[in-house]
Amino acid sequence: MSSSGIAPESRHGARGSTGLVPARADRIIRAVSWWWASTPLLLFAPAIAHAMGLPGVRREMGWVFVLMALFTAVLAPTTGFVVAQIRDRREARRRFLIMAAVSGGLILFFLLSGVLFSECPDGYHC
């Protein structure tokens, strides 16, 4: 108890409690993880819209969704890794490195398969 007997003394003195900073970092890490998890939904949104009877979405806005998925796949692990590095969250850093490896592998796969599948041998219709 403090000398006045009203409230207990703070161990941190004038700085106050630092409980908000770790909670905020954890919320940011969780939000960025969910942001990254939304990448497949963004990537397949035009196909889902086409299947639901909205072919105009796929035809006119398909490239926007693909760019948003690419942007999310690259930026979310990068942002999460930076936050985890600043707040010294080792487990989260590991998770974001795995996310970056998965994203990089899938992006590389789509780039290579797009280049390889676009070239057809003579006599074949692709």
pLDDT digits (tens, 9 = 90+) for 20-66: 567 888 999 999 999 999 999 998 999 898 899 888 888 888 889 98
pTM across the whole model: 0.69
Q: Token pair 């969250």 is at which residue?
A: 89
pLDDT digits (tens, 9 = 90+) for 52-101: 988 888 888 888 998 999 999 999 999 999 999 999 999 999 999 999 99
Residue 77: Cβ within 10 Å count: 24
Which of 43, 101, 110 is CA-nearest to residue 74?
A: 101
